[in-house]
Amino acid sequence: MGDTVAKVTKATGVDKVVKAIAGDDCGCNERQEALNKAFPYIQPMSEESKTLWETVIRPADERGRMTAPDQHAFIKVYAQVYQTQLKFTSCGGCLVQKINKLRKAYEAACD
């Protein structure tokens, strides 16, 4: 959502007015990032992503262990759905949180 707000303010000239009044450091970039994190755009899960979920990600989650190739598939699917590029991580808790979020997107795609 932050990217959309930035595009609108640029197209209407509001960004120039704000920078003229508040200066170059008006907090717009931070606000844009915060909006992007709070309100990410969600894309419907593609057929390829559903297949990766069913054949790679879900089985890895069920066995409680995600290999490097599994995680690369997960990062690819997450990026397709949430338009956010994750980094490779060894933090199990971080992965569980994101996998649960992706599971909801998969379930919504199957309804």
Domain boundaries, the chain: 2-38, 47-110
The whole-angstrom separation of Cα 35 and Cα 82 is 14
pLDDT at 83 over 70: yes
Q: What pLDDT score was predicted for residue 40?
A: 65
Comparing CA positions, the residue from 47, 61, 43 lying closest to residue 103 is 61
pLDDT category at 7 given cuts 50, 70, 90 is confident
Digit-coded pLDDT (tens) for 27-81: 777 877 777 676 666 788 999 999 999 999 999 999 999 999 999 999 999 999 9
Q: What pLDDT score was predicted for residue 64?
A: 93
